[in-house]
Amino acid sequence: MSQKFPRLFFVLLAVLFALNLLQSSVTELIYDEAYYWYYAQNMAWGYFDHPPMVAFLIKLSSFLFDGELGVRFMSCILSAGTYILLWLMVENPKKKDYVTHFFLLVFSFTLMNAYGFLTLPDTALLFFTALFLWLYKRFLKHEGIMTTIGLGLIMAALMYSKYHAVLVILFVFLSNYKLIFNKKAWFAVILALICYAPHFIWLYQNDFVSITFHLSERPNQAYKFDEFTLGFFLNIVVIIGLLFYWVYGALFKFKATDKFSKALVYLVYGVLIFFFISSFNRRVQAQWTIAISIPLALIAFDHLLNNAKSRKWMYRIGIVSLLLLMYARAWMVNYRLFPMYFETHGNKEWVNELKTKSGGIPVVFENSYRRSSMYEFYSDVPAISLNNFMYRKNQYSIDGSEERVRGKKVLYVSQYRKSGDISYMHLDSTVFHGIYIDDFQSYRKLQCIVEKPETGIKHSLKVYNPYPFDVPLEQLEYTISYSNEHKQVKQMLPLKVENTLPQQSLLKSKDTINYSFELPLSTMERPAYFRIGIAENGLLPGLNGKPVKIE
């Protein structure tokens, strides 16, 4: 072991691990972490937005610790593992003389740094990308059965981390097309698919809700060069940090000399080209390209070892990056260090204020899976997000969260209200208002299925009740929302529906009721989609139907 890892490596790794543990313990959660913590309260083989790995990591952390560290501990472990795997993949014997340079380089990758203590789907994606590449390198040298099995298991783990993992696997395989004729490579793929089968089954049982949302139902906007394509280029700079000039310079100069180095090149360029093309259709978030950090770190370190001039500058800029990132980490804990608020600031304050003013009763947040999960994490009081036609579906739309507050007295918090029974303030001075509802009843899982007419102008509407109880029809009002080609809602109108059985007063459990309706005239110019919603008991209409394209 000492031959592969100098003593200094373990010293610096221990310092980094301790730093990440401390950071995890004293930094408040960001909103997405709270949302994934909510995932972990009910373990499943899938969730609305992501596969289940992030929830699994949080669940493991919670067995060992409470509070923020109970969400982030496994991220600290995986981050240390990523450094070890990166080091193992570097075969240049000169690396032992540049351990400090190695740590400065990898620590400077901004998002890889952040995912050293934050628990997000990309945390696991980074680790399993590194482990996948390490195993692939071993596979190229010797196609042993254990390495083959390991590849299959890790490909499954990659896909359980984030759907973007398919790009990692795809471009590595494309770099070595002869794998198509390799029986052991096919064995690894089949094993990965078998291990991934529970998630496929979950997707099937939930109408492929995750795939449908990401590919077709996610709201978008008209193309803007500065936000879409230029934003893509800015993001691939941001994920690297101050060393981007030398890192990408190393990539441009890098010459693939074997199948493994070729895989690194294919992975980087493949992901970049894929999301560059995507940038002409939608905004590309910075973390979507995070997987390239692993091959780029290897390529950049190889360049550092073989180029004295670059090594000198990368070391200097690495120190500057270290100081700036350490300051940024401190600012994440204490907002007074920099005049800007972040998600890790003030959450305990607003949660405590709202819990005190509400009297500790359950809280229903309108259109905010972020605030509902954050509130429940810090208050230990049930909270849900109730999503309406102006928002989008999320995990609260498909799980049993409604039943946690059904029939109870709740505080209904809306960011759109101008007044209410109580109000509270966030650190950025945003004021929210809440009203009390004594007997909360919502039916957001009622499903509206529209069938277009073959002739005439009347559409048919089927409303299915998935609940284990009957729903009074008198509590329901139907609406239609019109949206543009980017699925942005621009108008909502009441919808007059005709019941085929007028005398019916209840929509029985597991039963369907049939209506017909005509599309009301919209004042929108060329609406592209419409969606049926149900407004129950005075609430704003939900997302009961799917977007239907207007021909």
Strand 458-464 to 476-483 pairing: unpaired
Q: What is the pLDDT of residues 508-535, one digit of tens each?
A: 999 999 999 999 999 998 899 999 999 9
| pLDDT tier, 305 (very low <50, low <70, confident <90, very high otherwise) | very high
| pLDDT tier, 473 (very low <50, low <70, confident <90, very high otherwise) | very high
The two tokens of residue 466 are 């998935």
Q: What is the pLDDT of residues 407-440, one digit of tens each?
A: 999 999 998 888 999 999 988 888 999 999 999 9
Short-list 356, 358, 354, 357, CA closest to 371: 354
The residue that leads in pLDDT, 118 or 428, is: 118
Strand partners, 507: 471
Q: What is the pLDDT of residues 81-109, one digit of tens each?
A: 999 999 999 999 999 999 999 999 999 99
- Residue 121: other Cβ atoms inside 10 A: 26
Contact indicator for 373, 383 with CB cutoff of 8 Å: yes
Which residues fall within 8 angstroms of residue 174, CB to CB, at 6 or more apart? 266, 270
- Residue 254: other Cβ atoms inside 10 A: 19
Q: What is the pLDDT of residues 338-359, one digit of tens each?
A: 989 999 999 999 999 999 999 9
Strand 363-366 to 383-386 pairing: parallel
Which residues fall within 8 angstroms of residue 33, CB to CB, at 6 or more apart? 71, 72, 118, 119, 120
- How confident is the model at residue 214, as a pLDDT? 83
- How confident is the model at residue 222, as a pLDDT? 83
**Residue 342: φ, ψ to 5°:** -130, 170
Q: Strand, coil or helix: what is 439? A: coil
- How confident is the model at residue 76, as a pLDDT? 98
**Residue 355: φ, ψ to 5°:** -65, -40
Checking if the pLDDT of 2 tops 70, the result is: no
pTM of the model: 0.94
Q: What is the pLDDT of residues 178-205, one digit of tens each?
A: 999 999 999 999 999 999 999 999 999 9
- How confident is the model at residue 395, as a pLDDT? 96
Q: What percent of the chain has pLDDT over 90?
A: 89
The Cα–Cα gap between 403 and 400 comes to: 6
Long-range contacts of 58-67 (CB under 8 A, 24+ apart): 58/119, 61/119, 67/25
Mean pLDDT along residues 455-468: 91
* pLDDT averaged over every residue in the chain: 95
| pLDDT tier, 1 (very low <50, low <70, confident <90, very high otherwise) | very low
Checking if the pLDDT of 140 tops 90, the result is: yes
The two tokens of residue 391 are 């928002």
Contact indicator for 517, 459 with CB cutoff of 8 Å: yes
- How confident is the model at residue 3, as a pLDDT? 60
The Cα–Cα gap between 436 and 420 comes to: 9
Checking if the pLDDT of 372 tops 70, the result is: yes
Contact indicator for 53, 121 with CB cutoff of 8 Å: yes
Checking if the pLDDT of 78 tops 80, the result is: yes
- How confident is the model at residue 484, as a pLDDT? 92
Rounded to a whole number, what is the distance in angstroms from the first to the last CA of the chain? 66
Rounded CA Rg of the chain: 26
Q: What is the pLDDT of residues 394-405, one digit of tens each?
A: 999 999 999 999
The Cα–Cα gap between 383 and 528 comes to: 35
Question: Distance from CA of residue 104 to its chain's centroid?
Answer: 28
Checking if the pLDDT of 461 tops 90, the result is: yes
Q: What percent of the chain has pLDDT over 70?
A: 99
The Cα–Cα gap between 360 and 344 comes to: 23
